[in-house]
Structure 1
Amino acid sequence: MEKCEPKDCLRSLRCVSSGGEALSINNVLDFAQFAHDKCQFYNWYGPAECTEAASKYLISGNESKQGHLPIGRPIPNVYIYILDDYLQHVIPDIQIGDIVIGGSGVFAGYTDELLTHQVLIDVDGKLCYRTGDLGRLNIESGQIEFKGRRDYQVKLRGQRIELTEIESTILEATDWVQNCVVVIQIDEESLSSLVAHVMVKTEDDRLNETVVDYCRQHLPFYMVPSMWSFVDHLPINDNGKIDRKRLPRVSHNRHQDEVITPRTELEEQLQLIFAQAFHMPLDGIDVTLSFELLGGTSLGIIHALSMIRSQIYEGVDVNLLLTYSSIRRLAVKLESLRLCENASNRPAEDSKITLSYPKPCLAIETAGIFVLGVIGSSIAKPLDK
């Protein structure tokens, strides 16, 4: 279709239905330019255990910043419940729960009786299927929002992370992103890291930084992936879904061949510090990349902060590293802070007055990062368990 003029392609098409995989508005808009103006697009939802379809959503085209599209409302003769771990109804708009489907389409069971007992449950006297998907009911629109798989909830350094929440944020960052998947990758030293595989229309380092910056602004720090892969396609299995098992391992700076080297002595000092803090080879540290793209973690940032205080400037705090999030930007800021401090100290030396500054407490700041992360997560999902 890319070789055709948009106005000439699929002009007779009046309805398009999508199912089997979470759908984003960007995918719809890319396809809609080839279809008739009055063509309707539907997002269908339903597992095979419920005879394929359980709900549908008519796409309006105004869902530009919603990430994945809603899955809509139940079709006739189907019941959809959103329940907690105790099979109680969750609070709409606030809580996320398990999507449970009942009605005439529910299957009789698997050949494995044990597995059947795990997924087929009784809700209000009706035989229902526990999908393993997570959802939330939007009261204002009356639509059910798909919130990912229970399988994709992970724990990383004590924090519970919903991988699909990160994926939705990445999709919202720019129309240039077509699809994405976030996984946990374990390296040779048994350290776990969040890795984002992002499918883009064209590779552009400036747009890469735009995506990372957007995630940094809209996600708690511990949920921002530490490694990124920007590619033109993602592996697909026989069912047309993203094949997570075939995703390639990502190494630091995979998306950039040329590493920008230091141009000042201070940048060289910082490069050495972050190479040690992030457990990376010195020649792999690009001074212009953000710490997230370099592979930085919250623990790595704290380690770097401690070394910067002991070797370069004692008054630096963690907010400075999060705001000036590359070695080059941080070096410029630290140089200006040192110049200001030297200028302010000159009169004090002349009058023999000793100025004392309160020293930042690393333990308090570390605890502060954890508390802010928990608060930020609770604000986003106040009653989510």
Structure 2
Amino acid sequence: MKRLRLLRWSGSVLSPRTRPESLQSAIPNFRRCQATAALQSEPHDDIEVTPFLSEDALTSLPSPPVTAAKTSAKLAALHARLALPRRLPLETLARTLVDDSADPSVRFNNKPFAVLGNDLLGYYTSEHILSQYPRLPMAVVFAAMYAYHGPATLTAVAREWGVEAAAEPGGEVDPGLLQFKRLPPGPRPDQPETQVIETREEGKSKFRRTMSSRAVYDDQFGEVKTRGGEIEQKGVTLQRAATQFVRAVFGAVYLHAGRTAAKQLYNDHITSRQVNIGNLFQFKNPTKDLSRLCAREGFQAPVAKILSETGRKSRTPVFVVGIFSGSDLLGEGAGASLDEARTRAAVAAMKGWYLYSPTEVRLPSEMEEPGAKPWTPLLVDAGEIAN
């Protein structure tokens, strides 16, 4: 019987298993050639390390430096909260938060952006209102414009965006805060002792009696254009600064990201608000206006008829009156007296005429999109009746 060599056998079994020779030969061997004297690693040039400004240099600036925008957590959070496009840099967003009362230089404040944003808001809002309700009187259009993007509304928008105001502007302030020079305590500047309202430019006329003067000489809200001057040098209110900021954001988005991004931002924060247009009407003589409307449109003269009543001889009677033009019911109203019910019915009939809205509405700005369908003309009303 042949003796086994246990030492060799145990060594071959207990030794760690190696990779087969076929796999080892399949992997080529690479050799890295390197010089004996290696160069020292140099810092990357694509990252510029900006030196920090001293405290004295920051306090001397009227607004934060441009380099501070990338280090502001508030600014980055605002950019992400509003889902702003990436093409809008943080430096531009920081500039929209600097009012012209804090920094008078147009290279660093938000005044150029606010002018463009105000025009965009006026254009988008006017086409939205006039396309949805083509028969609205001009006074109601002005009131609706104010309700959609007036100073009070834009101040509420800025508050909803989570924008906080700085106590005092300066270079050391966080760029994510709204910076403006606050108006010192005193009488309100928008309500002076003597208020002059004119239809034409200063010194031309003494009265303001027609709606056309508001459309020609006044701003997009039908109000007299005010000149800043001394008031802006003393300071501005929080409402005025917040209004300019929101307008500047729309203007900056339009310049950096284009019309589509600006329109999307407008739809998300302006037209998404519900405005009851019917509550903006104020009729002086609704029955007379309804008669003039029926005569202009060729309808039969309106006639008021009692539809129902209860408690005529009691302390709390209720009358329901309907106004008919031939066999068509134009409006219906209820009141404690026949005159009140007839007036409310006439108001309902006038609102039914003015609040007419087409089923399919296309805005004029939609024609700027690529591949837009042929334009369908909108309804243009003959004119308003109520004064």
**TM-score interval w.r.t. the shorter chain?**
under 0.3
Q: Which has the larger radius of gyration?
A: 2
Between structures 1 and 2, the one with greater helix share: 2
Superposition TM-score, scaled by structure 1 size = 0.22
Higher relative contact order (CA 8 A, sep 6+): 2
